[in-house]
Amino acid sequence: MRKTIARRLTESKQNVPHFYVTVDTDLDALLALREQINGAAAKDADGKPAYKISVNDMVIKAMAMALKKVPGANASWTDGGMLVHKVVDVGVAVSIPGGLITPVVRNADAKSLSTISNEMKDLAKRARDRKLKPEEYQGGTTSVSNLGMFGVKDFAAIINPPHATILAVGAGIQQPVVRGGEIKIATVMSVTLSTDHRVVDGALGAELLQAFKGYIEKPMAMLV
C-alpha cells in the first residue's frame, strides 16, 4: 500500500502543475443548522438516532454542490483533451493502518446530508476493515481531505489523478473577526483548494471556492 501511495503521489507532484487557493469560512451558521438537524433525527427503540451528521458530511455536500454550480471545475485532464464530468463523485480521504484510502460518495450533490452521513460511516468502517470493493474507492471527480479533527489549521493536499481538484479542510477555530465595523468571535475554518492548473486555473479555482464558501456560510441552501 505504501509503495502504491508513494508512486501515485510522486507521479502527481511531478506531472500535475499544482496551484493553490485558500479561503476562510465562517462555520457558525453551519454548526447551528447541524445541531438542529441532528436534534430532529428519529430514534429507534434503543434511542439510537437514524443519523448523526458531521461537519465533514456537510463539507462533502457543499463541495459537490459547488462543483455542480461551477461545472467547468468538475473535469479531468487527459491526453485527448479536457474531460468534463456530468456527475459529481466525491472521494473522501480515510486513514487506515498502513496508509490512506479514498472511498467515493457517488452523485454527492443529489444526496441528502443524512444519506451522505450514513454512507460515509459505512464506507469508512469497511475501509478500516479492508472490505471495500474496488468500485467503491476507484474513480471520482474530486477529493476532500480533512485534518481538522487533529487540530490542523490549514494545509495543502496533493491531487489524486485523474481528479483536477482536492479540498484540504482545517479545524474550525474560534477567533475574532470584524463584522459591520465591530469585533466579534466566530468559528472560522480555513480550506485550501489544490487544482490541476491545466484544467482549473486561478480564476476558476477562486470561483469554485467562493461557491463552496457560500454553501458553508448559508447552509440552508444545501437542503433545497
197 is catalytic: yes
Partners of 189 in the β-ladder: 25, 172
How far CA 99 is from CA of 37, 93, 127, 148, in Å, comes to 33, 10, 11, 18
Place of cell 490541476: 196
The strand pair at 142-146 and 90-92 is best described as parallel
Partners of 22 in the β-ladder: 192
Q: Tell me which of 18, 85, 163, 197 is the catalytic residue.
A: 197
Q: Helix, strand, coil shares of the chain as percentages rounded to 5?
A: 40, 30, 30
Q: Supply the residues annotated as catalytic.
A: 197
